Amino acid sequence: MPIRIPDRLPAANVLTQENIFVMTETRAVNQEIRPMRVLLLNLMPKKIETENQLLRMLSNSPLQIGVDLLRIDDRPSKNTPQSHLEHFYHDFEQVQDQFYDGLIITGAPLGLTDFCDVIYWDKIEQIVAWAKSHVTSTLFLCWAAQAGLKILYGLDKRTRLEKLSGVYEHQNLAQYEPLVRGFDDVFLAPHSRYADFPVELLRQKTDLKILAASDKAGVYLAASPDGRQVFVTGHPEYNADTLHAEYLRDLEVGIEPRMPENYYPDNNADNPPRATWRSHGHLLFANWLNYHVYQLTPYDLRTLSATGESLTRD
């Protein structure tokens, strides 16, 4: 089934060239199907690049999915045309009375910024609280995972001395859990963060199910018992060259970063990197959409519990 996106969104051309079935809103409204409704809160500076990455992940599903784009920082963007933001993105006030099957909150380049200094922190808190009664399942990515743990569990920010950057082995810790169904016992995933997610800390301070972890990177994937909050501390949506672009960017600004680990062939940055995590990235998003969104969500989204009570699978 296709992924349903706004007319003329740049991602349409990108995904079509990759033989991914996309459907514009104009065509979709003529079908008598209720698509899954997913809201994407995009906090990344290069919004079009992030749209392409995440829409690609969402497309690997038999479900028809309608995607709305959300921004909460109205400052001028250095990396995304203002016309793109005005045409395709909603402000929170425009969607706060609506209901969604899924919400994705992306990472953000705020790894060394205290939460109290994040200019839109109050809005993040508002949206996470709103999602309890207006969204079936929320997926927190990278920095958003750290923010979600603070808001929902009161966990203070933990920061590494050095940035974690590279591709790491992870252990599947719960092979019969729906979110990791089909995962190999050991799989690869990329990380790019200062945030620290120790396994024992999350086990002691939260009720989350820890589904995958790494000796080097800590917790990679965790979910609330009812599946309505899912935390991914890495970047399964990244393209093969995304870590390379970040590495070059950090070199250019004089940060003197360490070369991403386990990323370049022969550990030589002159060798083009290869994606070794793509299959598990697609599987993670497909499992989330199926088991934590589609299998839980009511047909009429307005019946979502106003009190945020758990939904259960039939």
Mean pLDDT of 48-59: 94
- More confident position, 171 or 310: 171
From the candidates 134, 170, 191, 235, which is the catalytic residue? 235
The answer to whether 132 is a known ligand-binding residue is no
Residues, the chain = 314
Decide if pLDDT at 234 tops 60.
yes
Answer yes or no: 244 catalytic.
Answer: no
Q: Is the pLDDT of residue 20 over 70?
A: no
3-12, 147-156, 305-314, range with the lowest pLDDT: 305-314
Which pLDDT score is estimated for 175? 87
Pair of tokens at residue 144: 């958003």
pTM value is: 0.88
- Name the catalytic one among 49, 51, 134, 142: 142
- Domains of the chain (ranges, CATH numbers): 3-238+275-299 (3.40.50.880)
At 276, the amino acid letter reads T
Contact in structure between 189 and 229 (CB atoms under 8 Å): no
249 is in an annotated binding site: yes
**pLDDT value at residue 29:** 47
Question: Residue 305 — very low, low, confident or very high, per pLDDT cuts 50/70/90?
Answer: low
Q: Is 85 exposed, middle or buried (0-12, 13-18, 19+ CB in 10 A)?
A: middle
Q: Which of 4-13, 140-149, 257-266, 292-301 has the lowest mean pLDDT?
A: 4-13
Other Cβ atoms less than 10 A from the Cβ of 176: the count is 7
Q: What is the pLDDT of residue 60?
A: 80
Is 87 considered catalytic here? no
pLDDT category of residue 63 using cuts at 50, 70 and 90: confident
| 274 has binding-site annotation | no
Q: How many CA atoms lie within 13 A of 300 on its CB side?
A: 3
- The pLDDT score that the predictor gives to residue 298 is 81
| pLDDT computed for residue 252 by the predictor | 92
- Distance CA(38)–CA(152), nearest Å, equals 21
* Per-residue pLDDT, 314: 43
pLDDT band at 299 (very low <50, low <70, confident <90, very high): confident
CA 27 – CA 229 distance, rounded (Å): 32
Helix (H) or strand (E) holding 187: strand 186-195
- Contact yes or no for 186/167 (Cβ under 8 A): no
Q: Is 200 a catalytic residue?
A: no
CA–chain centroid gap for 286, Å, is 13
State the pLDDT at residue 96. 96
Q: What is the mean pLDDT of residues 131-143?
A: 97
Q: Determine the average pLDDT of the residues in 113-130.
A: 97
Q: What local confidence, expressed as pLDDT, does residue 4 receive?
A: 64
DSSP H stretches of helix in the chain: 11-17, 25-28, 47-58, 82-88, 92-95, 121-134, 143-153, 199-205, 242-252, 278-287
- Orientation angle between helical segments 278-287 and 47-58, nearest 10 degrees: 70
- Residue 104, token pair as written in the block: 């994705």
What distance in Å separates the CA atoms of residue 305 and residue 225, rounded to the nearest whole number? 17
Mean of the pLDDT values across residues 222-245? 97
Q: What is the mean pLDDT of the chain?
A: 89
The whole-number average pLDDT for the span 188-211 is 97
Residue 156 phi, psi (nearest 5):
-70, 155
The catalytic position among 49, 51, 237, 246 is 237
pLDDT surpassing 60 at residue 32: no
Per the listing, tokens 């989350």 go with: 208
Cα 294 from chain centroid? 17
> Does residue 309 surpass a pLDDT of 60?
no
User: Does pLDDT of 31 surpass 50?
Assistant: no
| Spatial distance between the Cα atoms of 6 and 89, rounded to a whole number of angstroms | 10
